[in-house]
């Protein structure tokens, strides 16, 4: 990354809560009367309110995208290598917002929360949410913060699906979308992995139909397996081979079912860690959010038509070894954007790390995002004081 | 496929800009660092995209404020719809393509018209190198035989025969040497050829 000597962290951050009392009608038909979203913000919103960037999180992350907490300096934000002073998303320049999505388990209203209608945790009764529902509630958060239009909405993986959905549902409300390690829809194989994860949780005897809070249990065994399955799909075969190979934990075969290979040890560690803090009901719903994502579905499978409302400029990035959401899937998005004559730049980053690459500090990847945000920053600065609100511009016919 | 001559003052740019109608849609194949598109944006208010394979050039395009798609031209232009551009430009890249014929066909599928520039192998200085027994090395052909990316070099006469045989209509031609137009004996005196072509037989 350019100028890495000057990069710093955003430092100590404090989550904030936004309370919404206007009911939200979800895609599944359910209505949530009132809800809270927990969010963090870094940097300063300029006078024109034109420098806001929304960072959307993926499967297991949260609003805590950058910085650390005063009471836990080891709890570093999940995209801290991307966001901060002098970093690709430079908080000296941009006002960056991270939000925990509806149905999450990091402070926003979700299955763990009390359902005001019953006075008990929602549990299994919490509705199945969608990317569209998340984006609708994020838009309300933007209203709450007085942000009419984002300079950019960005995310990787499931976060990228939210950025893409913003361009369809609220085309006037963002100037740029960064769509990283995305896919226009999950493949049968993707859904299959998610279903294994769900079955692991649902068949755990501690699950109790999702109402495990009342039973004083948590379906940790299921959650552990779910996370292990997920983790396999985040890494590339090569990455696993180079990181673990067939290395044995204790140097020799034990002819038992204890952990023997390093990869087993790694997956168990990841599974255990995850099961300690993540809510199983949230995990179930997020896998459904992924499965349902398919903007082309409502347009007879035509992604070009689905993306027709988009007015933003796009940076689409994929990673060569990502077999979960492969570069070919990103190219489908790019082709549809080209057919809609949208401004789009597409980069295919050669990285060995598989799907997880979007979270890692790869020089080429970060330099590209830095350059793209420089461009956004230059536009934002050029418009400062003019009172102009961009509405994006499609490449003229 | 990466365009040749990044950062070098490219004499073909001004010639291309003269042909491109203001406000048109342009696809620049092997766009390098995006200099030509940036130039056409400022001079002719065009919109469009570059296609590049090289990581450093992709970064340079982003810095130049140019839309770019990272892709290998040898894979064809399947991302792009038929007739979705006014011009498809292939600037000093044709000679480095493995499948030169297919790219020309693809250019005329995706664009209404094509513009191609290439170093004229028939230029007298090149002929002199050959006559002396060596492969030519010059400003327009700055490589040694063992490290050149140029696998399909041709002369002006070769290219015109190619167009005639495939019923590709040459709209205009410019031939330059050291940035200056060449009128007389272009295949001998011209270092760089610039062709503007479209579908249909020659008039």
Domains and CATH numbers, chain B: 11-199 (3.40.50.150)
The Cα A285–Cα B32 span in angstroms is: 45
pLDDT in tens, A156-172: 999 999 999 999 999 99
B65 in Cβ contact with B38 (< 8 Å): yes
Report the percent of chain A where pLDDT is more than 90.
Answer: 92
Confidence of residue B203 (pLDDT cuts 50, 70, 90): very low
**Residue A386's pLDDT is what?**
54
> Does residue A394 carry a pLDDT above 70?
no
**Residue A385's pLDDT is what?**
53
pLDDT in tens, B2-58: 344 433 457 788 889 999 999 999 999 999 999 999 999 999 999 999 999 999 999
> Does residue A285 carry a pLDDT above 70?
yes
**Residue A382's pLDDT is what?**
80
**Residue A396's pLDDT is what?**
37
Cβ separation of A344 and B81 shorter than 8 Å? no
**Residue B114's pLDDT is what?**
97
A1 at the B interface (CB within 8 A)? no
A148 at the B interface (CB within 8 A)? no
Report the percent of chain A where pLDDT is more than 70.
Answer: 95
Cβ separation of A371 and B63 shorter than 8 Å? yes
pLDDT in tens, A55-100: 999 988 999 999 999 999 999 999 999 999 999 999 999 999 999 9
3-state secondary structure chain A: CCCHHHCCCCCECCCEEEEECCCEECCCCCEECCEEEEEEEECCCCCCCCCEEEEECCCCCCCCCCCEECCECCCCCCCCCCEECCCCEECCCCEEEEECCCCCCCCCCCCCCEECCCCEECHHHCCCCCHHHHHHHHHHHHHHCCCCCEEEEEEECHHHHHHHHHHHHCHHHEEEEEEECCCCCCCHHHHHHHHHHHHHHHCCCCCHHHCHHHHCCCCHHHHHHHHHHHHHHHCCHHHHHHHCCCCECCCCCCCCCCCCEHHHHHHHHHHHHHHHHCCHHHHHHHHHHHHHCCCCHHHCCCHHHHCCCCCCEEEEEEECCCCCCCHHHHHHHHHHHHHCCCCEEEEEECCCCHHHHHHCCCHHHHHHHHHHHHHHHHHHHHHCCCCCCCCCCCCCC
B151 in Cβ contact with B95 (< 8 Å): yes
Q: Which of the residues of A are catalytic?
A: 157, 322, 355
pLDDT in tens, B157-195: 999 999 999 999 999 999 999 989 999 999 999 999 999
The Cα A114–Cα B5 span in angstroms is: 65
Cβ separation of B25 and A338 shorter than 8 Å? no
A379 at the B interface (CB within 8 A)? no
> Does residue B1 carry a pLDDT above 90?
no
A195 at the B interface (CB within 8 A)? no
Which of B68, B79, B81 is opposite residue A331, by nearest beta carbon?
B79
> Does residue A392 carry a pLDDT above 70?
no
Which of A335, A341, A371 is opposite residue B62, by nearest beta carbon?
A371
> Does residue A389 carry a pLDDT above 70?
no
Cβ separation of A338 and B81 shorter than 8 Å? yes
- Residue A45 structure tokens: 């919103």
> Does residue A397 carry a pLDDT above 60?
no
Chain A: nearest CA to B83, how far in angstroms? Answer: 11
| Bigger pLDDT: B3 vs A235 | A235
Would the pTM count as exceeding 0.90?
yes
A15 in Cβ contact with A39 (< 8 Å): yes
ipTM reported for the complex, 2 dp = 0.91
pLDDT in tens, B66-123: 999 999 999 999 999 999 999 999 998 999 999 999 999 999 999 999 999 999 999 9
Chain A: nearest CA to B57, how far in angstroms? Answer: 11
Confidence of residue A23 (pLDDT cuts 50, 70, 90): very high
């Amino acid at each position: 990354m350019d100028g890495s000597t000057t990069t710093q962290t955003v430092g100590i951050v404090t989550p904030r809560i936004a309370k919404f009392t206007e009911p939200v009608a979800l895609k599944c038909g359910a209505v949530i009367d009132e809800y809270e979203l927990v969010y963090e913000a870094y940097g300063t919103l300029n006078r024109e309110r034109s420098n806001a960037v929304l960072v959307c999180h993926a499967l297991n992350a949260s609003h805590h995208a950058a910085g650390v907490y005063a009471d836990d300096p080891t709890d570093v934000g999940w995209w801290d290598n991307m966001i901060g002073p002098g970093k690709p998303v430079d908080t000296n320049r941009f006002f960056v917002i991270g939000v925990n999505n509806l149905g999450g388990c990091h402070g926003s209203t979700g299955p763990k929360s009390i359902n005001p209608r019953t006075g008990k945790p929602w549990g299994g009764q919490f509705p199945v949410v969608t990317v569209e529902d998340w984006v609708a509630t994020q838009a309300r958060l933007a209203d709450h913060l007085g942000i009419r239009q984002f300079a950019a909405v960005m995310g990787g993986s499931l976060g990228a699906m939210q950025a893409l959905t913003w361009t369809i549902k609220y085309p006037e409300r963002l100037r740029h979308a960064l769509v990283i390690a995305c896919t226009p829809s999950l493949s049968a194989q993707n859904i299959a992995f998610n279903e294994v994860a769900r079955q692991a949780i649902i068949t755990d005897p501690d699950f109790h139909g999702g109402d495990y809070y009342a039973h004083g249990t948590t379906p940790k065994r299921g959650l552990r397996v779910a996370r292990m399955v997920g983790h396999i799909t985040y890494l590339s075969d090569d990455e696993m081979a180079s990181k673990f190979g067939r290395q044995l934990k204790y140097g020799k075969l034990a002819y038992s079912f204890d952990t023997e290979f390093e990869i087993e040890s790694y997956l168990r560690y990841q599974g255990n860690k995850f099961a300690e803090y993540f809510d199983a009901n949230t995990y179930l719903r997020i896998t459904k959010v992924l499965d349902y994502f398919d903007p082309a579905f409502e347009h007879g499978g035509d992604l070009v038509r689905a993306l027709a409302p988009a007015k933003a400029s796009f940076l689409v990035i994929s990673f060569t070894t990502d077999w979960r959401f492969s570069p070919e899937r990103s190219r489908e998005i790019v082709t549809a954007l080209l057919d809609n004559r949208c401004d789009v730049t597409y980069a295919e980053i050669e990285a060995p790390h598989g799907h997880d690459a979007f979270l890692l500090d790869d020089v080429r990847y970060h330099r590209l995002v830095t350059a793209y945000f420089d461009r956004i920053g230059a536009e934002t600065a050029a418009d400062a004081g003019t009172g102009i609100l961009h509405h994006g511009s499609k490449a003229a016919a | 496929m990466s365009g040749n001559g990044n950062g070098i003052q490219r004499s073909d740019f001004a010639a291309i800009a003269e042909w491109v109608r203001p406000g048109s849609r342009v696809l620049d194949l092997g766009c390098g660092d995006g200099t030509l598109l940036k130039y056409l944006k400022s001079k002719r208010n065009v919109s469009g995209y570059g296609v590049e394979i090289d990581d450093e050039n992709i970064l340079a395009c982003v810095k130049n404020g140019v839309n770019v798609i990272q892709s290998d031209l040898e894979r064809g232009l399947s991302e792009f719809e038929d007739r979705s551009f006014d011009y498809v430009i292939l600037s000093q890249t044709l000679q480095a393509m493995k499948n030169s014929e297919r790219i020309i066909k693809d250019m005329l599928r995706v664009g209404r018209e094509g513009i191609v520039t290439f170093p004229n192998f028939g230029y007298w200085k090149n002929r002199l190198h050959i006559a002396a027994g060596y492969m030519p090395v010059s400003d327009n052909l700055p490589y040694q035989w063992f490290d050149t990316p140029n696998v399909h070099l041709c002369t002006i006469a070769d290219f015109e025969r190619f167009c005639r045989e495939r019923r590709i209509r040459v709209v205009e031609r410019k031939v330059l040497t050291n940035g200056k137009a060449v009128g007389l004996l272009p295949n001998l005196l011209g270092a760089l050829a610039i062709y503007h072509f479209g579908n249909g037989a020659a008039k």
